[in-house]
Amino acid sequence: MKYNYFISNQGWIEFSYPSNLIYVEEVEGTYLFYTEQTGSFRITPLEIQSINFNTDDYLVDLCKENNGTILKNDVGYKYLYYISPSKNNDSDLKIFNWIFADVNKIVYCSYTIDAISIADPEIVEEHKEINKIIANLQIGKINSIG
């Protein structure tokens, strides 16, 4: 599989993603990666201006609210993981959520699929690729652009 390289406009998020995904910037600062036939992966980076922001407390509070799990990715960043249901017209959706918090940066990631399609081979393969993005997502100023 071929991959493209992504660096956010803010310059502090980077990862490789499968080249078959269409990439668009939605609202300023939110990035969408999708195909017409499978799911959609969104990533929204936010910078917190408060000096008193505590990332651990933030993740623990969200974890309790969403009955999630706090994990670390392969590069050492803590994140909250949980799955939530949603409806779109008559479709039942499943949303996989990952929320990273590091120093004064929060990164919201979600992967949305039609719940009926969860076992389709192309969805299973794409979900594996999304999990690779999460496992290798880096937050902070990137050395290569600075």
Domain 3-145: CATH superfamily is: Mog1/PsbP, alpha/beta/alpha sandwich (3.40.1000.10)
Please give the Cα distance from 104 to 10 (Å, whole number).
13
Maximum Cα–Cα distance across the chain? 47
pLDDT interval class at 143 (50, 70, 90): very low
Highest mean pLDDT among 11-15, 25-29, 63-67, 102-106: 63-67
Torsion region of 20: left, alpha or beta (phi above 0 gives left; psi -120 to 50 gives alpha): alpha
Whole-prediction pTM value?
Answer: 0.90
What is the per-residue pLDDT for 28?
Answer: 75
**HSE, side-chain direction, 13 A CA sphere, residue 118:** 12
pLDDT interval class at 90 (50, 70, 90): confident
**What residue spans define the domains of the chain?**
3-145
What is the per-residue pLDDT for 136?
Answer: 93
